[in-house]
Each structure stands twice: as structure tokens, then as C-alpha cells.
Amino acid sequence: MKAYRGKPSIFKSNNPDEKKVADLEVRNLSLNFGGVKALNDVTISVHNGELVAIIGPNGAGKTSLLNCITGFYKSQKGRIFFNGKDITNLPPHHLVRIGIGRTFQNIELFPGMTVLSNLLLARHNHCKYRISPASLFLSSVREEEIRHRRVLEELIDFLEIQAIRKKKVGSLPYGLMKRVELGRALALEPALLILDEPFAGMNLEEKEDMVRFLTEMNQAWGQTMILVEHDMSIVMSISKRIVVLNFGEKLAEGAPDEVRDNIEVIKAYLGDTGRV
């Protein structure tokens, strides 16, 4: 299925003066759960237009790091800056407002709602009307709802999910759910998009589709992204820069080739064989 594809309007800024800039800086972040150190003194930075991948063995603290950036965990030490503004420990909904959108590792869609309502939900912060006009459903409210619907339809075209837009999310196969979740994160119009294992549990074909969407978003429309993923071949092929975490500490950082040949990284993944 190939529909007309233009640049979806969420990638054009509504206000031409205000460009979507996403510069994230994480400085010396530490996070403890009781006595367990989930993150220890992690420093990373993401610049506008980049696609940065975070990899590491299970339990390395990748998801914890994302949860700190998106406000779901409160870090004990260190600061996080977004576009020069200190965003450490702000609540998640506030971070969404300033332009950090995310997907979840285990799909967190609303299974009882249709795909369209799931996407509409993400437009929450972009609906500007207040409760008094909404309670009367004035024409201004109606027009705004229609405007959002139009934005979402472009997104639906882009993600090629036209056929399922009125289906209940719970009835969809896993790969499509992941795609809908990506759509929902995009509908937030985030400056920085954070994807937590978008390829997990997908078959090859679904992975190829997903890679296509991600590269198009990043390279053609300049979407800034952080990607946590286990599939090395994908990570190596689409990201410009890779950060490796192990036991909550940053092990290495650099271009895919550098990381691949890094002895520390090989040790972390394959175990210390003593031969390398």
C-alpha cells in the first residue's frame, strides 16, 4: 500500500521562526534503587538532527537512562539540560510539553481504543481549547478537532496504517502495535524522539519497514532521535553515533565502526576471554 506521501506537517514547524531544536545534555547522572546502582555518573549529549543509539547488555541501565530523561525516574545526582534549560526531575507531562516524546519498551498503548483515538490522545497538548467552550462544543472546538484529525491523517499516510485506523489497538498484531506507538509518539510533535527498543519482537519484514520510517524521519525530515536497541545490525547501519552502557556506566562512545572494534565493548558483550 503506497499512498501519496508528502512531508507530514508535524515535521514543519507551525511557527517558522521557532525551529524545532533539540540539544540534550546529560551530565554526571546517577540513579540508585535502594543499594543498586542503576546509573553511575553517565554523561552523554545529543545534538540537533542526530540519531544516537544506546546499546548495552541487559540490565546495563539503558531503559533507566531513558526513564530519567523522560522524567519517569528521579535521579539522585547529576543534571539534564535540554536546549540549555535544566530539566532534571521535571514531571513527564512537562517534558512532553517542551518537546521530548517517547515510546515504551513494553507497548503502552490503550488497547481498548481505536488507533485514531490513540493518536488523538497524543495531540492533547496541542489542543488549545479550554473546558468551557469544550463543554458546549463550540464551532472553534470543532474546527480545532478537525485540524488535528487532518494532521493525524498525514501521519497515518506516512506510517502506512490507513487500513487499521478505526481498528481497536488490542486486536492488532505486535509489529503494527509498535508502529502505532511510533505514530503516537510522533503525534506529540517532539523535538527529541526517544525510542525504547522499537524493533523488539518484530519479524524481518516489520523491521525493514520500521528502519525505513526511522531513516526517512531522521535523514529527510531531520528528526532528532535517541534509540535503544539490541539488534546490532540495525543499530550499526542507521545510527551515526553509538553510546555503550554497561553496569550503569558509560563504556564507550563513537561512530559504529569505532564501537565495534572497541575492546571494552567486546568484553562486555562476549565476556572477558583473556585472549583479545
Q: Is 65 a binder of another protein (CB under 8 A)?
A: no
Helix axes 115-122, 174-187, angle to 10 degrees: 30
For residue 24 the three cell numbers come to 540534550
Regarding 136 and contact with another protein (CB under 8 A), the answer is: yes
For the segment 145-204, give every residue that binds another protein (CB under 8 A): 145-146, 149-150, 184, 188
Please answer whether residues 224 and 192 qualify as being in contact, where contact means their C-beta atoms are separated by less than 8 angstroms: yes
Integer angstrom CA distances of residue 264 from 53, 68, 273: 17, 25, 12
Which CA distances in Å does 126 have to 44, 89, 103, 130, 189?
30, 23, 18, 12, 9
Q: Is 75 in the site for another protein (CB under 8 A)?
A: no
Of 183, 187, 216, residue with least CA distance to 198: 183
Comparing CB distances to another protein, the nearer of 110 and 257 is: 110
Interaction between residue 82 and another protein (CB under 8 A): no
Phi, psi angles (nearest 5°) of residue 228: -105, 125
Q: How far apart are CA 235 and CA 213, in angstroms?
A: 14
> Total residues contacting another protein (rule CB under 8 A)?
43
Which residue in the set 30, 37, 134, 254 belongs to the binding site for another protein (CB under 8 A)?
A: 134
Least distance to another protein, CB of residue 263, Å: 33
For another protein, the closer of residues 139 and 273 by Cβ is: 139
Regarding 58 and contact with another protein (CB under 8 A), the answer is: no
Residue 206 interacts with another protein (CB under 8 A): yes or no: no
Cα–Cα dist 158/55, whole Å = 28
- Scanning 76-84, 115-123, 235-243, 256-264 for contacts with another protein by CB under 8 A, the matching segment is 115-123
Residues forming the site for another protein (CB under 8 A): 33, 63, 67, 70, 72-73, 91-94, 96-97, 102, 104-105, 108-113, 117, 120-125, 127, 129, 131, 134-137, 141-142, 145-146, 149-150, 184, 188
